[in-house]
Chains A and B, each alone.
Chain A
Amino acid sequence: MYSYDDEPICACSTPAGISGIAVIRVSGNGCGKLADKCSVILRSSGDYSRLSEIPGYTCAFGYVKDPSNGEKVDEVIFTRFEAPHSYTGEEMVEISSHGSGAVKQEILKCLGMSGIRMAYPGEFSRRAFINGKMSLASAEAVMDVINSETERQLEAAGSLMSGKLAEEIRSIEQNLYDQAAMLETFTEFDTEDDEAEEAARLETVKDNLSDCHDRLTALCKGYGKGRILSERLRVALLGLPNSGKSTLLNTLTGFDRAIVTEVAGTTRDTIEVQVNINGIPVTLIDTAGIRETDDIIETIGIGKAFEAGRGADMVFYMIPPDMTADEAYSGVQAICEDCDSVTAVFSKSDAGENPDREEIEKKLGTLGISKFISISAEEDLNIDQLEDTIIDYYQELGGGASEGLLITNSRHYSKFAKATKKLSLALDALDNNLGTEVCASALRACLDEIGEVTGKTVSATLADTIFSRFCIGK
Chain B
Amino acid sequence: MTILEALELDTSFEAGTFDVAVVGAGHAGCEAAHAAAKLGLNTILFTLSLDSLANLPCNPSIGGTSKGQLVREIDALGGIMGIMADRCAVQMRMLNRSKGPAVYSPRAQEDRQMYSMEMRYYLENLPNLTLKQAHITELLTDEDGNVAGVMTEGKAVYRARAVVICSGTYMEARIIRGEVITESGPDGLPRSVGLSSSLNSLGVPLLRFKTGTPVRVNSNSVDFSQMTRQDGEDDIPPFSYRNEMEGKLPAPVEEQIPCWSIWTTEETRKVISDNMDRSPLYSGEIKGVGPRYCPSIEDKFMRFKDKTRHQIFVEPMGRHTNEMYLQGFSTSLPEEIQEKMVKSLPGLANAKIQRAAYAIEYDLVDPLSIKASLESKVVPGLFTAGQINGSSGYEEAAAQGIVAGINAAMKLLGKEAVIIDRSQGYIGVLIDDLVTKGTNEPYRMMTSRAEYRLFLRQDNADERLTPIGHEIGLISDDVFEKFEKKVEAIAQETERLKKTYVAPTEELGALLDTCNQTLPKSGESLADLIKRPGVTYDLLAPVDKDRKPLARNIKFACETNIKYEGYLSLEKEKIEKFKNLEKIRIPEDIDYSLIKGLRIEATQKLTKMKPENVGRASRISGVSPADCEVLLVYLEQRRRQNNG
- A residues at B contact (CB < 8 Å): 1-5, 120-123, 126, 129-130, 132, 136, 139-140, 142-144, 146-147, 150, 184, 186-190, 192, 422, 425, 429, 431-438, 440-442, 444-445, 448, 458-460, 462-463, 466-467, 471-474
Contacts and interface: CB of A to CB of B under 8 A. Distances in A.
5 contacts: A2-B625, A139-B637, A142-B633, A422-B570, A467-B293
Contacts of B66: 188
Given A188-B447, A441-B567, A471-B310, A436 B99 contact: yes
A349 B188 CA distance: 102
Contact of A471 (B304, B597, B629): B304
Contacts of A190: 95-96
B100 A189 contact: no
Contact of B447 (A122, A143, A437): A437
Contacts of A189: 65
A432 B303 CA distance: 36
A440 B448 contact: yes
Contacts of A129: 633, 636-637
A71 B581 CA distance: 39
Interface stretch (B32-40, B133-141, B449-457): B449-457
B392 to A, nearest CB: 10
Contact of A121 (B563, B595, B626): B626
Interface in B522-542: 533-534
Nearest to B599: A147
Interface in B382-408: none
Counting chain A CB atoms within 10 Å of each CB, which of B96, B310, B626, B636 scores highest?
B626
Nearest to B618: A2
A432 B533 contact: yes
| List of 7 A-B pairs having minimum Cβ-Cβ separation, nearest first | A435-B100, A143-B597, A432-B533, A471-B304, A2-B625, A3-B577, A150-B626
A431 B449 CA distance: 25
Given A1-B618, A143-B595, 4 more contacts: A143-B596, A147-B626, A434-B564, A471-B300
B614 interface: yes
Contacts of B571: 441, 445
A120 B629 CA distance: 9
A142 B629 CA distance: 10
Interface in B617-644: 618, 621, 624-626, 628-630, 632-634, 636-637, 640-641, 644
Contacts of A188: 65-66, 103, 446-448
B292 interface: yes
Contacts of B567: 425, 429, 434, 438, 441-442
B59 interface: yes
A130 B634 CA distance: 10
Given A150-B626, A435-B99, A437-B99, A136 B448 contact: no
Interface in B593-617: 595-597, 614
Nearest to A184: B448
A130 B636 contact: yes
A466 B447 CA distance: 12
B70 to A, nearest CB: 14
Contacts of A3: 577-578, 580-581
Contacts of A146: 597, 626, 629-630, 633
B367 interface: no
A433 B100 CA distance: 8
A182 to B, nearest CB: 11
B115 to A, nearest CB: 19
A431 B534 CA distance: 11
B454 A441 contact: yes
A147 B599 CA distance: 9
Contacts of B597: 140, 143-144, 146-147
A470 to B, nearest CB: 8
B457 to A, nearest CB: 10
Contacts of A462: 448
Contacts of B497: none
Nearest to A470: B304
A454 B576 CA distance: 24
B448 A435 contact: no
Counting chain A CB atoms within 10 Å of each CB, which of B303, B580, B596, B636 scores highest?
B636
B632 A130 contact: yes
B102 A473 contact: no
A473 B304 CA distance: 12
B630 A438 contact: no
Given A192-B311, A433-B533, A436-B99, A130 B633 contact: yes
B311 A4 contact: no
B566 interface: yes
Contacts of B380: none
Contacts of B640: 132, 136
B359 to A, nearest CB: 14
Contacts of B618: 1-2
B59 A438 contact: no
Given A4-B581, A126-B629, A437 B103 contact: yes
Counting chain A CB atoms within 10 Å of each CB, which of B59, B311, B630 scores highest?
B630
B288 interface: no
Nearest to B306: A471
Interface in B484-511: none
B111 to A, nearest CB: 20
B545 interface: no
Nearest to B294: A474
A4 B295 CA distance: 40
Contact of B628 (A2, A425, A435, A473): A2
Contacts of A438: 100, 102, 454, 564, 567
B552 interface: no
A132 B304 CA distance: 59
B626 A473 contact: no
B413 to A, nearest CB: 32
A120 B624 CA distance: 12
B101 interface: yes
A448 B451 CA distance: 11
Interface string B268-288: 000000000000000000000
B424 interface: no
A440 B319 CA distance: 40
Contacts of A431: 533
Counting chain B CB atoms within 10 Å of each CB, which of A139, A184, A431, A462 scores highest?
A139
Given A4-B577, A120-B625, A187 B636 contact: no
Contacts of A448: 574
B553 interface: no
Interface in B72-130: 95-96, 99-103
A433 to B, nearest CB: 6
Given A3-B581, A473-B300, A437 B451 contact: no
Contacts of A122: 626, 629
Contacts of A121: 625-626, 629
Contacts of A459: 449, 451
A442 to B, nearest CB: 6
Contacts of A434: 100, 533, 563-564, 567
A1 B451 CA distance: 11
Contacts of A120: 625, 629
B614 to A, nearest CB: 7
Nearest to B644: A136
A239 to B, nearest CB: 51
B570 A425 contact: yes
Contacts of A441: 102, 453-454, 567, 570-571
B328 interface: yes
B327 interface: yes
B102 A435 contact: yes
Contacts of B630: 143, 146-147
B429 to A, nearest CB: 9
A463 B99 CA distance: 20
A139 B311 contact: no
A459 to B, nearest CB: 6
B307 interface: yes
A240 B103 CA distance: 68
